[in-house]
Amino acid sequence: MKHKNGNKKLSLPTDQRLALLRSLSISLLNFNKIVTTSSRAKEARSFFEKLITIAKTDSVHNRRLVFQKVNDKNFVKKIFDVAQQFKDRDGGYTRIIKCGLRRGDSAPMSQLELSN
């Protein structure tokens, strides 16, 4: 059964949620680690790992697929370079480390980073 296999809505409309996941992915690729709330980190991990899996095989079609998800040419170039590190790995390209609670509203915070 496929019950509850969808994505988390993160209390955002679809376009804003996708924009959030795109920007988190770009930041993760640029800085190798980001600190965000735990629920956002879990969703961003899923989104980013699917992009890495596509980028492991370099072809024009796969570049277009990644560009379709994240509309940024520099991101596409960089993710195909980074994906070559994970060529022989089947998954688990990122890791989530819990950071405690945010001071303002006690939201659980996590650090999302690329694993080596």
List CB contacts of 21: < 8 A, sequence separation 6 or more. 43, 44, 47
Q: What is the pLDDT of residue 75?
A: 97
Residue 7 lies in a domain: no
Q: What is the pLDDT of residue 29?
A: 97
Which residues pair with residue 109 across a beta bridge?
Answer: 37, 100
Residue 21 lies in a domain: no
For 12, list phi and psi in degrees, rounded to 5: -135, 150
The count of structural domains within the chain is: 1
Residue 10 lies in a domain: no
Q: pLDDT confidence of 18, banded at 50, 70, 90?
A: very high
Q: What is the pLDDT of residues 77-96, one digit of tens each?
A: 999 999 999 999 999 999 99
Whole-number Å distance between alpha carbons of 24 and 40: 9
Residue 47 lies in a domain: yes
What CATH number does the domain containing 54 carry? 3.90.1030.10
Mean pLDDT of 22-37: 98
Mean pLDDT of the chain: 96
Residue 82 lies in a domain: yes
Residue 109 lies in a domain: yes
Whole-number Å distance between alpha carbons of 103 and 116: 30
Residue 64 lies in a domain: yes
Residue 6 lies in a domain: no
pTM of the model: 0.92
Q: Which residue range forms the structural domain that includes residue 70?
A: 38-114
